[in-house]
């Protein structure tokens, strides 16, 4: 099954770039032509880039790593949250806080604070507080949830980032590069593809295009999870077969032992009878037997 088709890319408007005067010369190799003052992206290269990114994400997920979806522009917020939740990964769709990767220790403190506030609201702690205190804590919780809700369960930096619009998410790109975390990103004709591990040339402004790209990466995660699940099932079935073989071998050995014991008993019977007859011939008088008179 194809990762993506040319038809779906065309229908989503992935091939539309920015105005010619707003282009970045480093995107020249991904541009097919110019139409009415707008650059047209070469979709053949887009398809190949999507396949490379898809395989990279799938392999990384299979190795136990995670993906962080990043897209804070309005067109991307809904798609980023929906697809990240669909594949069970983390996301940032409101604002990238400085140090979210490079200073993750501090971010973890904020995540713990968010969990604590949520627990206080549920366990009845708010009932013993004043209305002013409750309003203040609720405001703090809402702010933390808005900025960090998508990474609330993230315990370590992700294995790879998927980014919509590298110009807008320049801080996220810089932090990932500094941490050595690979990046999959949609790069438009006004973006810089240098430094991006898996650049995907395409429209990063149209909602349909953003949704398509995000769905593809989420599908890669789901496929990898399914492969891991199938491997676990296969291993369990193999283990069960081995257990059955061990049990059958053990039952055969027990039958052999029973036969051997029976044979041994039959062979030993005459010897026992001879021994018993000899015991019958022993002196009855114990004192005489031991030389006592």
| Cβ atoms of 91 and 69 closer than 8 Å | yes
C-beta neighbour count of 73 within 10 angstroms: 16
Domain-located, residue 282: no
Structure confidence at residue 282 (pLDDT): 46
pLDDT in tens, 197-219: 999 999 999 999 999 999 999 99
Residue from 14, 17, 79 nearest 50 by CA? 14
Structure confidence at residue 18 (pLDDT): 94
The position carrying tokens 């590069």 is: 177
Q: Read off the CATH number of the domain in which 19 is found.
A: 3.40.50.10490
Task: Say how far apart CA 163 and CA 157 lie, in whole Å.
Answer: 15
Task: Say how far apart CA 135 and CA 128 lie, in whole Å.
Answer: 13
| Cβ atoms of 210 and 75 closer than 8 Å | yes
On average, the pLDDT of the chain sits at 85
Residue 107 lies in domain: 102-150
Indicate whether 111 and 142 sit together in one domain: yes
Residue from 203, 225, 213, 230 nearest 3 by CA? 213
Indicate whether 60 and 178 sit together in one domain: yes
Residue from 208, 216, 213, 210 nearest 11 by CA? 208
SS3 233: helix
pLDDT in tens, 226-241: 887 666 666 666 655 5
Indicate whether 120 and 170 sit together in one domain: no
**Residue 22 in tokens:** 């707003």
Q: Give pTM, 2 decimals.
A: 0.77
pLDDT in tens, 149-195: 999 999 999 999 999 999 999 999 999 999 999 999 999 999 999 99
**Residue 219 in tokens:** 């599908």
DSSP label of 38: E
Indicate whether 41 and 68 sit together in one domain: yes
Indicate whether 189 and 174 sit together in one domain: yes
Residue from 86, 202, 196, 107 nearest 154 by CA? 107
Residue from 34, 43, 7, 77 nearest 201 by CA? 43
Domain limit, last residue, from 214, 232, 250:
232
């Amino acid at each position: 099954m194809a990762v993506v088709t040319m038809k779906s890319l065309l229908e989503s408007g992935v091939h539309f770039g920015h105005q010619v005067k707003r282009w970045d010369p480093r995107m020249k190799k991904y541009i097919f032509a110019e139409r009415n003052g707008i650059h047209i992206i070469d979709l053949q290269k887009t398809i190949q880039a999507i396949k490379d990114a898809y395989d990279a994400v799938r392999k990384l997920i299979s190795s136990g790593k995670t993906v962080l979806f990043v897209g804070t522009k309005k067109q991307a917020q809904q798609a980023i949250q929906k697809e990240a939740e669909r594949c069970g990964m983390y996301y940032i769709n409101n604002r990238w806080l400085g140090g979210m990767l490079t200073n993750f220790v501090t971010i973890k403190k904020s995540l713990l604070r968010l969990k604590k506030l949520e627990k206080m609201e549920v366990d009845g702690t708010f009932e013993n507080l004043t209305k002013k205190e409750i309003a203040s804590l609720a405001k703090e919780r809402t702010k933390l949830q808005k900025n960090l809700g998508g990474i609330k369960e993230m315990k370590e930096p992700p294995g790879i980032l998927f980014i919509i619009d590298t110009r807008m998410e320049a801080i996220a790109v810089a932090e990932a590069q500094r941490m050595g975390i690979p990046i999959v990103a949609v790069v438009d004709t006004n973006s810089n593809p240098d430094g991006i591990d898996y650049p995907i040339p395409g429209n990063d402004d149209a909602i349909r295009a953003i949704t398509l790209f995000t769905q593809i990466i989420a599908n890669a995660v789901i496929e990898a999870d399914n492969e891991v699940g199938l491997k676990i099932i296969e291993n369990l079935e193999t283990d069960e077969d081995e257990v059955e073989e061990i049990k059958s071998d053990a039952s055969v050995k027990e039958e052999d032992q029973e036969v051997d014991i029976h044979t041994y008993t039959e062979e030993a019977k005459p010897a026992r009878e001879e021994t018993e007859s000899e015991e019958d011939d022993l002196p009855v008088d114990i004192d005489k037997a031991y030389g006592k008179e």
